[in-house]
Amino acid sequence: MTLETILPPERALFDVPGGSKKRVLEFYSTFIAQNTPSLDSQEVFSRLIGRERLGSTGIGNGVAIPHARSPHCKAPIAGFLKLAEPVDFDAVDGEPVDLVFVLLVPEEADDAHLALLAQVAGVMNDVETRSTLRKSASQQELHERLVDAIRRQAPSR
């Protein structure tokens, strides 16, 4: 399973209103629940915010990777948000976040969860990728650039 297979174009969200970490996570929780019948927005939000309480998922360089397990998640689900304005995410470097990669995985998806998180971190740690994503002018362009970055980062088989 790769990030590319779990991140369809409609889940690469462009110019998302920010405001705060909480609002961004509420926005995503509502969005994903509307598009995934098995998920409840309050449950998703509660799990994402619960994970943030363990330690911020803001990894630095304006990037956050909020993630959580959900018993109602049948397969891993990814979402990407390019925020209209950066928000304070309590990131490790203290910088505000404008690129948010969200992962939801089934309760029992240990290895898959870790492998997907590693893929996301690899993609988002690339300076050129972050710069290119920030220059995206539309949702379609954002998704295309993200998929290109995922393909470049993926190990060749």
Per the structure, the complete domain to which residue 49 belongs is given by 3-153
- By annotation, the residues acting in catalysis are 67
**Percent of the residues in the chain that have a pLDDT greater than 70, as a whole number:** 98
Q: Tell me, what's the pLDDT at 154? A: 72
Spatial contact of 25 and 49, defined as CB atoms under 8 Å apart: yes
Whole-Å CA distances, 104 to 21, 45, 73, 124: 17, 11, 7, 17
What digits encode the pLDDT tens for the residues 119-157?
A: 999 999 999 999 999 999 999 999 999 999 999 987 654
C-beta atoms surrounding 24 within 10 Å: 23
HEC string of 105-156 equals: EECCCHHHHHHHHHHHHHHHCCHHHHHHHHCCCCHHHHHHHHHHHHHHHCCC
- How does pLDDT run across 86-99, given as a tens digit for each residue? 999 999 999 999 99
- The CA–CA distances, whole Å, from 78 to 3, 6, 7, 93, 94 equal 7, 6, 5, 24, 25
Sign, Cα dihedral of 31, 147, 128, 132: negative
> pLDDT of 16-33, one tens digit each?
998 999 999 999 999 999
pTM of the shown model: 0.94
Q: Which amino acid is at 17?
A: P
Looking at residue 10, what DSSP letter applies? Answer: G
Domain count, the chain: 1
**So what's the pLDDT on residue 50?**
96
pLDDT at 157: 41
Helix (H/G/I), strand (E/B), else coil: 23: helix
CATH of the domain at 123: 3.40.930.10
- Tens digits of residue pLDDT in 23-81: 999 999 999 999 888 899 999 999 999 999 999 999 999 999 999 999 888 899 999 99
CA angle 120, 123, 125 (to 5 degrees): 100
